[in-house]
């Protein structure tokens, strides 16, 4: 669900365009352009619904086809590395290999590449641990978008 919500902010242009076309259509008098705008509004909404449904099923398939991401994963953050351990695997990567980090209200998103990320839930952190992780990220000069709270 995180990925679906995150993707929706990027594709909201479709319903917004449909709304704009609908409003302009209502302001126009009967004409051929009005019919075109009506059709365009319907197509933009159709494309939006199609993209949302397709994204949901692609993400669901990706999740259920990868057993490792279904496991409980624990993370240990040091000044040099990030250690991750699941039920069937262990991994480690250096801060110098991290592509970027994004922080939102509920997650730290640690990107390995532009499209692959580790999702670390903040609900298991204490406030001072969150501050410590932010400092570690900054000290390692990782490209990051961090919160200030």
pLDDT, tens digit (0-9, with 9 covering 90-100), for 73-99? 999 999 999 999 999 999 999 999 999
Six-digit token string for 71:
């496991």
Between CA 62 and CA 128, with CA 90 as vertex, the angle to 5 degrees is 95
Q: Is the pTM of this model over 0.95?
A: no
Nearest to 138 by CA among 76, 75, 74, 79: 79
- The pLDDT assigned to 26 comes to 67
CA 38, CA 49: separation in Å to the nearest integer?
17
The mean pLDDT of 105-119, rounded to a whole number, is: 91
48 and 31 Cβ atoms separated by less than 8 Å: no
CA 138, CA 122: separation in Å to the nearest integer?
18
């Amino acid at each position: 669900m995180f990925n679906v919500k995150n993707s929706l902010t990027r594709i909201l242009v479709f319903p917004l365009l449909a709304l704009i076309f609908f409003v302009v259509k209502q302001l126009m008098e009967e004409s051929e352009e009005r019919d075109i705008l009506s059709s365009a509004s319907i197509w933009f909404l159709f494309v939006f619904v199609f993209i949302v449904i397709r994204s949901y099923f692609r993400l669901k398939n990706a999740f259920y086809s990868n057993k490792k991401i279904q496991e409980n994963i624990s993370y240990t953050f040091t000044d040099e590395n990030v250690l991750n351990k699941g039920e069937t695997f262990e991994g480690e990567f250096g801060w110098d290999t991290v592509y970027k980090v994004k922080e939102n209200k509920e997650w730290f998103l640690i990107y390995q590449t532009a499209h692959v990320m580790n999702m670390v839930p903040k609900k298991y952190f204490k406030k001072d641990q969150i501050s410590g992780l932010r400092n570690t990220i900054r000290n390692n000069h990782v490209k990051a978008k961090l919160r200030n709270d």
